[in-house]
Structure 1
Amino acid sequence: MPGINQIKLPIAAEIDAFEEKFKASMHSDAPLLDRITHYIVKRKGKQIRPMFVFFAAKLCGGIIESTHRGAALVELLHTATLVHDDVVDNAYERRGFFSINALWKNKIAVLVGDYLLAKGLLLSVNNSEFRLLQIVSEAVKQMSEGELLQIEKVRRMDISEELYFDVIRQKTASLIASCCACGAASAGADEETIEKMRLFGEKVGIAFQIKDDTFDFGTDDVGKPLGIDIKEKKVTLPLIYALNRAEKPEKKRIINLVKNHQDEPEKIQEIIDFVNARQGVHYAHEKMLQYQQEAFDILYSFEPGDARTGLEQLVRYTTERKK
């Protein structure tokens, strides 16, 4: 599997240029806001989402100025949702850094999220990028609906496999789908091609989230069990599969443990052992490979070239990573 830097090579110049433009797009004349947005930019991750936008554009016609705006729009709106999520979740860390609400409190964090949303809207409207705005706004709407659906169902612990896929399709996959659709749209692709790229991104996003959910239970493939989702009472695919294979009394006991573990390590470990004993992680891994292959089937319908190879490597990186 290629490292992230190897994947980046074919579009390295575009990503470097994007980072500068993205910094400029977040600038504010208000000193406090400018200080906070500078902090956000400084701790940006591996730029996976912009890479999907740029590779998709390159695959569908070529990278132009509109592609940079599409990537910036995705990042602005997504960053806004993350800032708001940390307030909702009372989270004080993100990727090893203090969250905005941890450093500047909830009120300021909410206002910063609003500011980023407004910057994204203005970037689109001022440049007449209405199709890109439509694509990304639809994704943000779906992310909110998916989050609310999960909150509602987690309380009742009645999540089926079908519902699980509905939630992750909206919560996670819709964002990667919007990246790929934005890239295609920015390159002037027709609606059929835009939809094909959106569906490709959706398949990748589902595979990505399934892979992420296996980390909680830990096998030799994914390392030490984390139990983070269990602590947050999230019902993910490995647990759903294991519960469906259990007898009614044991199923009831495990659900009760998930609801009332009180962060006790031995209870969390019991849930992890239950899932692994019933091949929950193995089943989830097979499902992840299924969605990965469906994404490749769509990708391979495009002409071979650097962009297609780059997207294939990016898919493998996001779905076969070790952490």
Structure 2
Amino acid sequence: MNLAKKVISAELAQFEVHFREAVKSRVALLDRIMQYIVKRKGKQLRPMFVLLSARLGGEINESTFRAASLVELLHTATLVHDDVVDESMERRGFFSINALWKNKIAVLVGDYLLSKGLLLSLNNKDHEVLRILSEAVKLMSEGELLQIEKSRNLNLSEAIYYDIINGKTASLLASACSAGASTTFNDPSSVEKMRLFGEKVGMAFQIKDDLFDYSSQNIGKPTGNDIKEKKLTLPLIYVLNNCTPEIRKKIIYIIKNQNTQKDKVAFVISQVEELGGIAYATRKMFAYRDEALEILYQFPPSEVRDALEELVRYTTDRAY
């Protein structure tokens, strides 16, 4: 991500000031939690996509910074709520909000972040940006609920899987790109192109995350974690749809009844690798990446376009 950080280094520094200001609270407990959130910030991929998408169309402005802050506020809110739902004690190597302050406070913190994001847009009349991000929040909720509904019977088609990850992951990245673009581009067709570009990148990003579950690398979450949580991801879906009835029956039994036994989880992982699930998911991931780049190449060559391409390739080549 070196080129991306170089191209928008000054803007990223300004964004951090905007974000810190956006999360401030007069309530001492809330302000302490907000400072904790700011200190443990991640790679800032989504704000970078907002800023670069805007730069592709013109000069970054105050509306762009607000759009980047809104994206990060909504993303952080969903992570805080996710940790409560998943009962996660860690996030990015730090204690989660619910681990330190318990579930009730964590839920309220997530709600606070959502409301701050909404007010940030409303108070500045950024109605188009707010519309774009509100649609993303709706799709994210639908994606998560669809995953919960379908995971109960462990009978998930590839098409439904794409619907799930489009909602829960790709929609936010799509909205980050279109929100940024909407602050500088004058033509709606370019904003829509950037939305579709972000969606393709988001699909590739989530498939990469799902592949990590079958990796031997230390990536911050235990290998086989999705299996233990009975989540059907693309590598496993492919194998269940292309293996013998005997193997399918055994894998489903393990996921339902033996998902905490290390040797049984290891068996499922080995079957997914041997029967081509990882190779298939990898091909699909690169196909989405290439579709995103095809859209990006419709814009004139520039350092900004090169930086966006670097970010796209990072999503599929990253080690964690």
- Give the TM bin, normalised by the shorter chain: over 0.9
Give the residue type in structure 2 aligned to 1:178.
S
Give the letter for the 2:160 counterpart: L
Alpha carbons of 1:322 and 1:70: their partners in 2 closer, same or farther (altered >3 Å)? Answer: same
Out of 238, 241, 249, the residue aligned to residue 241 of structure 1 is 238
Q: Quick one: structure 1 residues 225 and 30, their matched pair in 2 at CA, closer, same or farther if it must change by over 3 Å?
A: closer
- The yes-or-no answer on 1:195 pairing with 2:192 is yes
What is the TM-score when the length of structure 1 is the normalising length? 0.96
Worse-superposed segment, 230-239 or 211-220? 211-220
Whole-angstrom distance in 2 between the partners of 1:189 and 1:49: 22
Which one of the candidate residues 242, 254, 266 is aligned to 1:257?
254
Matches within 5 A, 1:1-323: 4-218=1-215, 226-323=223-320
Residues 217 and 225 in structure 1, CA contact (< 8 A), matched pair in contact too: no
Offset at residue 307 of structure 1 (A): 1.0
Task: Check whether the contact 2:201–2:288 (CA below 8 A) recurs between aligned residues.
Answer: yes
Give the secondary structure class of the aligned counterpart of 2:8: helix
Structure 2: state its 5+ residue gaps.
Answer: none
Distance of 2:278 and 2:148 partners within structure 1: 23
Contact 1:18 1:68 in 2 (8 A): yes
**181-190 vs 160-169, which deviates more?**
181-190
Whole-angstrom CA distance in 1 between matches of 2:180 and 2:264: 45
Asked whether the equivalents of residues 216 and 223 of structure 2 are also in contact (C-alpha less than 8 Å), the reply is: no
Q: CA deviation at 1:184?
A: 0.5
Q: Which moved more, 1:182-191 or 1:44-53?
A: 182-191
Instruction: Give the Å deviation of 1:86.
Output: 1.2
Shift of residue 296, structure 1, vs aligned partner: 0.4
User: Are residues 225 and 88 of structure 1, via their aligned partners in 2, closer, same or farther at CA, if it must alter by over 3 Å?
Assistant: closer
CA distance in 2, matches of 1:7, 1:227: 33
SS at match of 1:302: coil
Compute the TM-score of the two structures, normalised by the length of structure 2.
0.97
Q: CA deviation at 1:155?
A: 0.7
CA distances 1:227-253 after superposition (whole Å, capped 9, x unpaired): 111111110111111111111122111
CA distance in 1, matches of 2:140, 2:222: 27
- Using the alignment, how far apart are the partners of 1:64 and 1:270 within structure 2? 53
Is the contact between residue 3 and residue 307 of structure 2 (CA under 8 Å) also seen in structure 1? no
Structure 1 counterpart of 2:102, which letter? K
User: Following TM superposition, by how much is the alpha carbon of 1:12 offset from its aligned partner in structure 2, in angstroms?
Assistant: 0.3
Give aligned-pair identity as a percent: 60
How many pairs align?
319
Instruction: Tell me which amino acid in the other structure corresponds to 1:25.
Output: A
Q: Deviations over 1:42-96 (max 9, x none)?
A: 0001111000000000012221111000000011111111111111111111111
Kindly indicate whether the alpha-carbon contact (under 8 Å) linking 1:61 and 1:189 is maintained by their aligned counterparts in 2.
no
Q: Indicate the SS of the match to 1:168.
A: helix
Cα deviation for residue 225 of structure 1 reads 7.9
58 and 261 in structure 1: CA distance in 2 versus 1, 3 angstrom threshold? same
Runs of 4+ with >6 A deviation: none
Contact 1:218–1:225 (8 Å) recurs in 2: no
* Distance (Å, rounded) in 2 between the aligned partners of 1:75 and 1:225: 26
Aligned equivalents of 2:114, 2:192: Cα separation in 1:
25
